[in-house]
Amino acid sequence: MRISPLFAAALLQASIAWSSPVESDDLVTRGASKRPNHPIKPHHPGKPFPVSPARSKTCTVKSYGNGKDDSTNVLSAIKSCNNGGHVIFSKDKTYTIGTALDLTFLKNIDLDVQGTIKFTNDTDYWQANAFKQVFQNATTFFQLGGEDVNVYGGGTFDGNGQVWYDLYAKNNLVLRPILFGTIGLKGGRIENLKMRYSPQWYNLVANSTNVVFSDISISGYSSSSNVAKNTDGWDTYRSDNIVIQNSHIDNGDDCVSFKPNSTNIVVQNLICNGSHGISVGSLGQYKGEVDYVKNIYTYNVSMSNASDGARIKVWPGVSSALSDDLQGGGGLGAVSNITYDGMVLSNVDYAIEITQCYGQKNLTLCNQFPSNLTISDVTIKNFKGTTSKKHDPLVGYLVCSSPTVCSDINIQNVTVKSPSGTNQYACANIDGIDSQVNCKKLL
């Protein structure tokens, strides 16, 4: 059969559009960014990530300007370019979002954010309409999910957080939206973006698999006396095969936190400042529920001006209250195969903190009702630097609620010192820990 030149050209274009892992030069000439595809290195979760085909069409989002809600324009462009397209948010433009957007229907699409996406400061609207997630009263401005979705472009997501910081100071039960909600995404890459002024956590990764976050800049502090609180960099929940790498985080809570049922995750090459550390948990918060976190590898982290470096936090077996808006205890499950490899610390309160009494200050009561959630097979190695003056002479806190639910904790080549030159740890209920570190036994 003879193939016409036009049909042959169409076949060639289809081949380019659906087999190449990068954007075609033709799309780039139309103002589209080239897809970054940063390599996953030096560590990999072990499971393959799907290859994302090149896109064959472009759609540019219009902006009304002057703070007018651009949500309908965003949704229109995304629907037009879904299933094989590339959506451009133009450079030097600000797109105002005043409507909660459910984007969990996406498939084979790139969102090229070159400009700024800014959410309105209408706290009444967002408290009523932000998407309610199923963990810790979390809500999100939008839900991004589906299959084979990439977001990049060098632009900015702005949560307009100041109004929320001030509101939360008056009422700590207010529901503050998370800036970037990755919800039910099966295969995707979030790369080369700036995230600013989130009302609460910057990222929630829930019910997602095969997602890479790379080259993300996170920052945003309060300009008033009301501190920006609970501004975690990433929280993973019920998600598998996730990579978070090559990023700079300035925030006021966990740099990265592995929430319940987070598995096969690599976190590497991060600069964290002002945070609460790289944290497993909190876990065991909800009585009767089973939480698992396993196969986590954290590598090459710089941690400064933080409460913790490596942190594992588990609720006890008795109901406890950390704050008015955060209570729990009595949940089931296990933490296993956790590795922290390589961390440089500066002015960090505790280099290492392991607790099964999260939310419970009464250690006697905690030990009477040990955690139902076990911690085992944990390796923490190759840490150096200095702690803050806060707990001097202690540099760490290694306290489990019972040796029967906490075992195989291995600490190697940790040379962190306190300002006074000591390297002492508070220790309790961990068999063999006193042969690994300089312990001050609490029990």
Quick one: pLDDT at residue 28? 61
> Over the chain, what is the mean pLDDT?
92
The answer to the question of residue 360 being in a domain is: yes
Quick one: pLDDT at residue 135? 86
Quick one: pLDDT at residue 363? 81
| pLDDT at 301 exceeding the cut of 80 | yes
Which domain does 434 fall in, by range?
120-441
The answer to the question of residue 235 being in a domain is: yes
- For 318-333, the pLDDT digits (tens) are 888 877 777 888 999 9
Query: Cα dihedral angle (17, 19, 25, 28), rounded to 10 degrees?
Result: 70
Q: What percent of the chain has pLDDT over 70?
A: 93
The answer to the question of residue 59 being in a domain is: no
Q: How far is CA 436 from the centre of its chain?
A: 31
Quick one: pLDDT at residue 213? 98
HEC-encoded secondary structure of the chain: CCCCHHHHHHHHHHHHHHHCCCCCHHHHHCCCCCCCCCCCCCCCCCCCCCCCCCCCEEEECCCCCCCCECHHHHHHHHHHHCCCEEEEECCCCEEEECCCEEEEEEEEEEEEECCEEEECCCHHHHHHHCEECCCCCCEECEEEEEEEEEEECCCEEECCCHHHHHHHHHCCCCCCEECEEEEEEEEEEEEEEEEECCCCCCEEEECCEEEEEEEEEEECCCCCCCCCCCCCCEEEECEEEEEEEEEEEECCCCCEEECCCEEEEEEEEEEEECCCCEEEEEECCCCCCEEEEEEEEEEEEEEEEEEEEEEEEECCCCCEEEECCEEECCCEEEEEEEEEEEEEEEEEEEEEEEECCCCCCCHHHHHHCCCEEEEEEEEEEEEEEEECCCCCCEEEEEECCCHHHEEEEEEEEECCECCCCCCEEEEECCCCHHHCCEEEECC
| pLDDT at 239 exceeding the cut of 70 | yes
Quick one: pLDDT at residue 27? 63
The answer to the question of residue 51 being in a domain is: no
Catalytic residues: 276
- What span, in angstroms and rounded, lies between the C-alpha atoms of 168 and 166? 6
Q: Are 164 and 198 in contact (CB under 8 A)?
A: no
The answer to the question of residue 58 being in a domain is: no
CATH number of 388's domain? 2.160.20.10
The answer to the question of residue 418 being in a domain is: yes
- For 171-220, the pLDDT digits (tens) are 999 999 999 999 999 999 999 999 999 999 999 999 999 999 999 999 99
Q: Report the number of distinct structural domains present in the chain.
A: 1
- For 97-147, the pLDDT digits (tens) are 999 999 999 999 999 999 999 999 999 999 999 999 988 899 999 999 999
**How far apart are the two ends of the chain, measured CA to CA in Å?**
85
The answer to the question of residue 104 being in a domain is: no
Contacts of 435 (CB under 8 A, 6+ apart): none
- What span, in angstroms and rounded, lies between the C-alpha atoms of 169 and 219? 20
Q: What percent of the chain has pLDDT over 90?
A: 83
Quick one: pLDDT at residue 6? 36
The answer to the question of residue 290 being in a domain is: yes
- For 348-361, the pLDDT digits (tens) are 999 999 999 888 88
pLDDT bracket for residue 14 (50, 70, 90): very low
| pLDDT at 91 exceeding the cut of 60 | yes
- For 31-50, the pLDDT digits (tens) are 999 999 899 999 999 999 99
Q: What is the pTM of this model?
A: 0.92
Q: How far is CA 125 from the centre of its chain?
A: 25
